[in-house]
Amino acid sequence: MTDTTQWAVELKEVKKTYHAGPIEVPALRGISLRVAPGEFLAIAGPSGSGKTTLLNIIGGLDRADAGEVLVEGKNLQLLSPGELARLRLQRLGFVFQAYNLLPVLTALENAEFTLLLQGVPAGLREERVQKLFAEIGLAGLEHRRPGELSGGQQQRVAVARAMVTEPALILADEPTANLDSVTATALLEVMEQLNRAHGTTFVYATHDSQVMERARRLIRLHDGQIASDVARAGQTL
């Protein structure tokens, strides 16, 4: 592949340094990688390895200091804040460790929130959410608020919110960190099913061995650099 529009994500020598007063803290030290559409990919590494920073830069939540960050062929370094916001709204989905649900809204209202921002009519919003809820085991829980749901159910609502807009790419930052192992397994099965059924690209930042084992490609970071990049079958990429 040579056409950059054929890659879901392409990074070229991406660098990021944070500053704590006079102290410079390098987070990424020249990351280059390509992610094909439909991949189910995990980025792993210990705390401080740069995995969350990398995810945030791919999602346009943070900017690289140097290098190129391309999502569906668009160079994020050249986009304005407004253009980045539109890209996130239209093409990206996010799943966070802390669920980030609005406590005053029902599960259905939380899941349809991004559709509301997109201007999708109410009837179509509900129809799309109900269909997705049935697909991921949330049918019958539409009118419960987050406080009335288990952690696993809340994270499924967060996954539904990310998926319901039919994004090209979902970025999941430690989505299983607050879940017990049984619930985490069930959630990962749902996400893998969505990946296979819809062809959505999933990129995780994780230190969870379950996520690493299920990923069909595993990238390990160490001190802001790629230490290894291996496909599930054992082929080094």
Each domain of the chain, given as residue ranges in start order, spans 38-63+83-231
Identify the CA nearest to 39 among candidates 220, 168, 148.
Answer: 168
CATH superfamily of 38-63+83-231: P-loop containing nucleotide triphosphate hydrolases (3.40.50.300)
Please answer whether residues 60 and 76 qualify as being in contact, where contact means their C-beta atoms are separated by less than 8 angstroms: yes
What Å distances lie between residue 115 and 49, 90, 106, 119, CA to CA? 34, 9, 15, 6
**pLDDT in 10s for each residue of the chain, 237 residues:** 444 458 999 999 999 999 888 898 899 999 999 999 999 999 999 888 999 999 999 999 999 999 999 999 999 999 999 999 999 999 999 998 888 999 999 999 999 999 999 999 999 999 999 999 998 889 999 999 999 999 999 999 999 999 999 999 999 999 998 889 998 999 999 999 989 998 999 999 999 999 999 999 999 999 999 999 998 764 445
pLDDT of residue 77: 92
165 three-class SS: coil
- Burial class for 180, CB neighbours closer than 10 Å (0-12, 13-18, 19+): exposed
What Å distances lie between residue 136 and 186, 197, 236, CA to CA? 10, 12, 33
Count of C-beta atoms within a 10 Å radius of residue 134: 11
